[in-house]
Copies of this chain bind each other. A is one copy, B any other.
């Protein structure tokens, strides 16, 4: 470990170890036995490389190689457990398979999503996993044009295979749970309110569909004023509820943990009226079960989704279908 400013290359090691650059390369990338180099040379080279604190120049290496083994992932935010877990597990699973994960966070900004995709392709990523993108098709088209595989996760697109939670079934189950609890704990039977998200968004509309059919199965109608999907932020959830005084029992279906923040803020400001409220949330958070009034949450099965995603990587016969992954209902 010298204090050199310049980095050691295989050429430096070659002259120090009295070998040729190609021998050094073979030793350091483990192909030396295949190339019939002697163990003696190999050990000499490895010792020198160790002493010099050598590490390959990936740029040079990948330029020459045919495959990069890089898998890219685009993630919108790290502000909830869902995406945090996706990123973390993705990295671990990629490493376990000998791939190099590169994750980048795009702040739900469509332009940044596209730039990030381009950037990952520039790095010769062989596959791009696009998570929660606002415009997945634009990205999968671009990938296809560059001969790069892409896979949608969490939000579906039509240009690439999409692995998504079974939002409808889980919303159906969660709705039933909330309805049941309202009846059991407050003796109240009635339609819930749907809070958070955007109807134009695929996940929101699918969840709403499950929400509606659970009501329909009980012979309940949902009027428009019970669908409060004004956005994902905590603020918008708090805003749509601001005027609502639950003088009688009521129940809420909350569409994400971000919206849940707004709901809980509203709920905690209700005083003694708060006992009239039960709610459940689509998405999981470790503190969720301790929030008063919360009867359950839907945890999306990140491991199953990513396992499926990895099973599609490096296959070229994958149709742009949707793969539905069941969720886990956490009952509190």
Q: How far is the CA of A84 from the CA of B81 in the complex (A)?
A: 9
Whether the pair A147, B6 counts as a contact (CB closer than 8 A) is yes
Instruction: Tell me if A100 counts as interface (CB < 8 A to partner B).
Output: yes
Contact residues in B for A57 (Cβ distance below 8 Å) = 63, 122, 124
Instruction: Tell me if A79 counts as interface (CB < 8 A to partner B).
Output: yes
* Total copies of this chain within the assembly: 2
The minimal Cβ–Cβ distance linking A257 to chain B, given in whole angstroms, is 8
Q: Closest chain B residue to A260 by CB distance?
A: B287
Contact residues in B for A55 (Cβ distance below 8 Å) = 118, 121-122, 146
The minimal Cβ–Cβ distance linking A111 to chain B, given in whole angstroms, is 12
Contact residue among B124, B145, B146, B291 (Cβ-Cβ distance under 8 Å from A290): B291
Q: Chain A: interface residue count, which band?
A: 35 or more
Contact residues in B for A10 (Cβ distance below 8 Å) = none
Instruction: Tell me if A59 counts as interface (CB < 8 A to partner B).
Output: yes
> Which of A29-37, A101-109, A168-176, A211-219 touches B?
A101-109
The minimal Cβ–Cβ distance linking A258 to chain B, given in whole angstroms, is 9
The interface bits of chain A over 276-291 (1 if a CB of B lies within 8 angstroms of the residue's CB, else 0) are 0000000001111111
Q: How far is the CA of A310 from the CA of B158 in the complex (A)?
A: 40
Instruction: Tell me if A87 counts as interface (CB < 8 A to partner B).
Output: yes
Instruction: Tell me if A225 counts as interface (CB < 8 A to partner B).
Output: no
Contact residues in B for A288 (Cβ distance below 8 Å) = 287
Whether the pair B147, A4 counts as a contact (CB closer than 8 A) is yes
Q: How far is the CA of A124 from the CA of B56 in the complex (A)?
A: 9
The minimal Cβ–Cβ distance linking A316 to chain B, given in whole angstroms, is 9
Known: A57-B124, A58-B122, A63-B60. A264 touches B287 (CB 8 A): yes
Whether the pair A7, B105 counts as a contact (CB closer than 8 A) is no
The minimal Cβ–Cβ distance linking A292 to chain B, given in whole angstroms, is 7
Whether the pair B63, A147 counts as a contact (CB closer than 8 A) is no
Q: How far is the CA of A2 from the CA of B79 in the complex (A)?
A: 38
Within 8 A of B (CB), among A237-285: 261, 264-265, 267-268, 285
Whether the pair A1, B107 counts as a contact (CB closer than 8 A) is no
Within 8 A of B (CB), among A109-149: 118-119, 121-124, 141-142, 144-147
- Across chains A and B, which 8 residue pairs bring their CB atoms closest together, nearest first? A78-B84, A1-B145, A53-B145, A287-B287, A58-B122, A59-B63, A59-B62, A59-B59
Apart from A6-B147, A57-B122, A88-B107, 14 more pairs, CB < 8 Å: A1-B141, A1-B144, A2-B145, A7-B146, A55-B118, A59-B59, A59-B63, A59-B68, A59-B124, A60-B63, A77-B88, A78-B78, A79-B88, A234-B286
